[in-house]
Amino acid sequence: MRRAHAYAAPDTPALRWLGGALLAALWLGGSETARQALPALSLLAPLLYQTVRGIRAADPALVETGRSHDLNGWSLYRHVLLPGALPFILTGLRQGLGLLWLTLIALALFATPAGLGIPQLRDSGPPGVTTLLLAIALYAVLSLGSGALVSALERWLLRWRPR
């Protein structure tokens, strides 16, 4: 049974949250609430998943050492758990941003009244194609920029880690 569960359970947070995101998209429809909630959910779901995973992965010996040095509550979290979970949190942020950009593109193509897909459907000539290609290029540049910002944040926050 474990072997079957290992093959059936995907390890990527995007796939784990895909079912819930699709249900939320169907439930919210194309309303303004959906256009506001789905990008937030697509960013927060992998971030929360990886944060919990990082805190659970904390070395129990380090936690016990922190407790033996009179760390508890917030100080234990700040000095022991957060530095141990930070690589997981940044991974969740990177995955969440990737899923966010995909969600924004999907919403712009299908769920907005004047989105990128609407000019394409209205006129199949070159102006619709040009608008669509420029918008895709803009999304690609913004996605690369957000990835570069996360990389810079990772270098700054994890400067204590050997490379």
Evaluate if residue 29 carries a pLDDT over 70. no
Amino acid 17: pLDDT: 59
Evaluate if residue 41 carries a pLDDT over 60. yes
- Interhelix angle 13-28/82-106, rounded to 10 degrees, is 40
Averaged over 16-24, what is the pLDDT?
63
pLDDT in tens, 91-150: 999 999 998 988 888 777 776 666 555 555 555 556 567 777 787 888 889 999 999 999
Q: What are the angstrom distances between the C-alpha of 114 and each of 59, 111, 139?
A: 50, 9, 17
Q: Interior CA angle at 65 toward 159 and 154, to 5°?
A: 15
Q: Give the residue among 49, 16, 22 at the shortest CA–CA distance from 38.
A: 22
pTM, two decimals, is 0.73
Contact 126, 77 (CB under 8 A): no
Amino acid 35: pLDDT: 75
Which residue type is seen at 107? L
Amino acid 135: pLDDT: 79
Evaluate if residue 11 carries a pLDDT over 60. no
